[in-house]
Chain A
């Protein structure tokens, strides 16, 4: 079956512009996670969704970052007024449920470059 897909695969944007990154989870997966992978910080948790709600937004680096999920499926991560330090690979993952050792399945990521 289809895995987690993310779009775009690459995004180059100018400093100060807004960007939207999309994640399509595996069908039927109720939990969805966003992570960021950068050279300086490694892999960092950003936010997770259970259904359409986001109980834990503690990993979002600043108020320029926001995310939503609709219909218990597609999620969008939005970065407003991008900065060069936002350059990273943004990874999305989904799982069947929360806790209990459910495996997280990762998408290929969106590579964001802020110039």
Chain B
């Protein structure tokens, strides 16, 4: 069974500082990995996805993530935080050849301090 662990349910950074949101996954087969963002009272929006091509994946809004098989990690980073980045972030994994139902982590709420 696949699973995702997000370390830190709440992360707070200052505007302009580095954002690092941690995600570790468990999968018996090569995974697809995703990061989604959820703004208040909205649905989920895809930030980026890893599908076995380049291990460093660039997404929208300046975010990127690096797939590290040896560490089973897919951490999300952004060099300089902006106030508009405040939201909840979800890491998810799906089957490589399955129905692609997503298994989500518990989420990390990102707060940006002015």
Report whether A45 and B43 are in contact in the complex, using a CB–CB cutoff of 8 Å: no
Report whether B49 and A103 are in contact in the complex, using a CB–CB cutoff of 8 Å: yes
Distance (whole angstroms) from the CB of B53 to the closest CB of chain A = 9
Q: Is the interface of B mostly helix, strand, loop or mixed?
A: loop
Tell me which of B36, B43, B100, B106 contacts A95 (CB under 8 A).
Answer: B100
Report whether B32 and A106 are in contact in the complex, using a CB–CB cutoff of 8 Å: no
Residues of A within 8 A of B107 (CB): 42-43
With contacts A43-B90, A106-B43, A106-B45 taken as known, whether A101 is within 8 angstroms of B32 at the C-beta atoms is yes
Chain B residue at minimum C-beta to C-beta distance from A109: B43
Report whether B101 and A56 are in contact in the complex, using a CB–CB cutoff of 8 Å: yes
Q: Which of B15-23, B61-69, B72-80, B91-99 contacts A (4 or more CB under 8 A)?
A: B91-99
Q: Give Cα A56 to B102, complex, Å.
A: 13
Report whether A108 and B43 are in contact in the complex, using a CB–CB cutoff of 8 Å: yes
Residues of B within 8 A of A50 (CB): 99
What is the number of contacts between chain A and chain B, taking CB atoms within 8 Å?
A: 61
Chain A residue at minimum C-beta to C-beta distance from B105: A42
Q: Give Cα A58 to B90, complex, Å.
A: 22
Among A68-114, those with CB < 8 Å from B are 91, 93, 95, 98-109
Q: A35-B102, A43-B90 known; 15 other A-B pairs, CB under 8 Å? A: A42-B107, A43-B104, A43-B107, A45-B102, A55-B99, A56-B99, A93-B44, A98-B99, A99-B98, A99-B100, A103-B49, A104-B100, A106-B45, A108-B41, A108-B43
Could you list 21 A-B pairs, sorted by A, with CB under 8 Å?
A4-B43, A31-B99, A31-B100, A42-B104, A42-B105, A43-B92, A43-B107, A48-B99, A48-B101, A55-B99, A56-B99, A95-B100, A99-B96, A99-B99, A101-B49, A101-B51, A104-B100, A104-B102, A105-B46, A106-B36, A108-B43
Nearest 5 CB-CB pairings of A with B: A101-B51, A106-B43, A43-B104, A106-B44, A45-B101
